[in-house]
Amino acid sequence: MAASTGESEGTGRTRPLVLVALFASLHGLLSAVPGVWGPSEVARSFVIFVESLEGMVLGPRMGFLSGSIGCVLGRIFRPREEGFLLGIAFGMGEPVAALVAGLIFRRKWPLAALAYAAMLGAFIADPMTWIARIPLWSLWDTFLAMFMILPTHIAVRSALEHRGNAKRLGPAVCMTAFVSTEADMLFRIFLLVPLRLYALYPIPVEALPAIFLMGSFVTPIEALLSMAASVILAVPVLLAIERSKAVRWPME
C-alpha cells in the first residue's frame, strides 16, 4: 500500500511537468511558424492556436511557464529580425495570453481585468501616444476584449459547472481565446510605446500610426483565427481530458 501511494504521489508530481514540457514544445514549434495573414510588422505566428489552451489546461502559473519556455524555443527555432533578446521581450506576450486564459479559467478574472486596465491605461496616458498621433480607435478590438472579460467569466463559470457539456464549453473557450489573444497584443503595445521599445528596432515615431492602423485589421483576424482554432481543437481536447480523468483542468 505504501509503495502504491508513493508511486501515485510521484506520478501526481511528474504529470504537470510532463504537460508543461509537452505544451512548451508545441508552443515553440508553432511560434516558429510565421503567420500569413498580415504584414510581418504586426503579424505574429501560429502560436495563437495554442497559447490560450495552455492557460485553460495548465492554469495561470504553469501556463505562463510553458508559454515562456515555448517563447524562447520559438526564437531559437526561427530567429527574428529584431534580434534574440528583443524578440523574446515582445514574444512574452504569448505567455501573458496563457496567463490571462488561466486566470479566467481559475475564476480570477479581476486580476486579468486589472492587468488589462493597467496596460491600456498606461498606453492612453502616455504622452508619446498623443505626440505620435496614434489613433485610439485602432485599438477597438482591445477595448472590446477588456469589456468582454466579465461576460467571458460568466460563460466560463457555467462551463466549469457543466464540465462535460460541449455546448457550455464552446462559448467559454471561444470568448477566452479572444480575450487572451488580445492580451498578447496589448502586452506588445505596452512594451512598444509606454516602455519605449520602439526606439530599439528602431521604428521612427512618425511610423507608429501606420503600424497601429495595420494592427487594427490584422489583430482581429488573429483573434478570429484563435477563436476558430479553440472551437475546433481546444474544446475536444478539454472534453477528452475530462473524460479520461487524467488531470483536472485547469490544473492549478
Q: What is the pLDDT of residues 95-148, one digit of tens each?
A: 999 999 999 999 999 999 999 999 999 999 999 999 999 999 999 999 999 999
Furthest CA-CA distance within the chain: 70
Query: pLDDT at position 124, please?
Result: 97
Mean pLDDT score across all residues of the chain: 90
**Cell 508619446, residue?**
128
Query: pLDDT at position 34, please?
Result: 83
Classify each residue of 146-175 as buried b or exposed e, where b means 16 or more C-beta atoms within 10 Å of its C-beta.
bebbeebbebbeebbeeeeeeebbbbbbbb
Query: pLDDT at position 245, please?
Result: 83
Compare 42 and 27 and report the one with higher pLDDT. 27
Give yes or no for a contact between 80 and 71, defined as CB atoms under 8 angstroms apart: no
pLDDT of residue 12 exceeding 90, the answer is no
For 175, the grid coordinates are 470568448
3-state secondary structure of 45: strand
3-state secondary structure of 88: helix
3-state secondary structure of 5: helix
**What is the Cα–Cα distance from 139 to 124, expressed in whole angstroms?**
11
C-alpha separations of 213 from 39, 58, 72, 142, 187 in Å: 12, 34, 28, 13, 17
Tens digits of per-residue pLDDT, 172-216? 999 999 999 999 999 999 999 999 999 998 899 999 999 999 889
DSSP string, 142-203: HHHHHHTHHHHHHHHHHHHHTTT-HHHHHHHHHHHHHHHHHHHHHHHHHHHTTT-GGGGTT-
C-alpha separations of 180 from 52, 102, 146 in Å: 6, 9, 10
Give the side-chain half-sphere CA count within 13 A for 58.
29
